[in-house]
Amino acid sequence: MDKRIIPNDILLGEVATVLREGHEAVITPTGNSMLPFIRNGKDRVVLRRMDGVDVGDMVLVRTGGRYILHRIIAIDGEALTLMGDGNLRGTEHCTTADVIGTVTEIIRPDGRRRAPGKGRVWRALRPVRRYILAVYRRTLLKL
């Protein structure tokens, strides 16, 4: 099968349209900001448009002219604060209107599917994530 690289603005714009029409979409995220739960170019995610969002949900948003797939770490009314699971610091801010879709499943390269969970333990480990991610990147990513 040929692999084609499509710019995010084009691909994710089409994904947004598909989700608005009530369908689901499957994409292969790139980047390491969601490690260890979503691996760059290996895992795929199933996205759906949901009625609401909650702290711990992984969401695809368009904010500041770019698309971001991160986890919601705080909600204040319509305002959302996002942070990648693989990030040690830095957050993004958007509104619920910026949410394009919510990750409902993660598909591993061997076809296994799993629910994304809310990341409660991982979020609580933020003070020591640096060490966990360092070990992960040096050992498990090389496999």
Mean pLDDT of 127-135: 90
Q: Is 1 part of any domain?
A: no
* pLDDT on residue 143: 54
Among residues 62, 63, 24, which one has the least CA distance to residue 44?
Answer: 24
Contact 86, 55 (CB under 8 A): no
Q: Which domain holds residue 47?
A: 8-142
Mean of the pLDDT values across residues 105-110? 96
- Total domains present in the chain: 1
2 lies in some domain: no
Task: Specify the pTM.
Answer: 0.89
CATH code, 40: 2.10.109.10
Whether pLDDT at 6 is above 60 = yes
Q: In Å, what is the CA distance from 16 to each residue of 20, 28, 86, 123?
A: 6, 15, 24, 28
Over residues 9-54, the pLDDT tens digits come to 888 999 999 999 999 999 999 999 999 999 998 999 999 999 999 9
Is 111 inside a domain boundary? yes
